[in-house]
Structure 1
Amino acid sequence: MVPELPRVEGFKPLPKRWVVGWTFAWLGRNRRLSKDYEQHPSVSEAWLYLGMLRLLVRRLAKAA
């Protein structure tokens, strides 16, 4: 039998959980990363790096 978790009144977001959701949303803006087209994981990883690099460059350009 599974023990019942204590219930908390109101909405309590989990700490740092939103970071993961926003990261996937930002990566989903890149057309190539919206679906998994690649057959090799190393190619998918390279596209992830490029997507995050694009995000970083845009943020740096906006700050300058």
Structure 2
Amino acid sequence: MWTAADRERYGREGLRYPSDLTDAEWALIAPLIRPGKRGGRRRSVNLREVLNGLLYVLETGCQWRHLPRDLPPRSTVHGYLQ
């Protein structure tokens, strides 16, 4: 059963989409992501936003072409998924 403390702890208020990562969730995931490859251009995409885009598609079940414009391009998100 949900208590008031649980609702506050797991609340999604203040996020752009309910599927977005909170700062605490991102702090758990960020160390698991490999750094960019040596040489070549630096990574120009925000990996947190890529993950938010992936979670948006998974939670809503929308098609890739319906990914909101304020998230990275669908080709970028799909490329990181593959």
The interval holding the TM-score normalised by the smaller chain is: 0.3 to 0.5
Which structure has the greater CA radius of gyration?
1
Q: TM-score, normalised by structure 1?
A: 0.36
Q: TM-score, normalised by structure 2?
A: 0.31
- Larger proportion of helix: 1
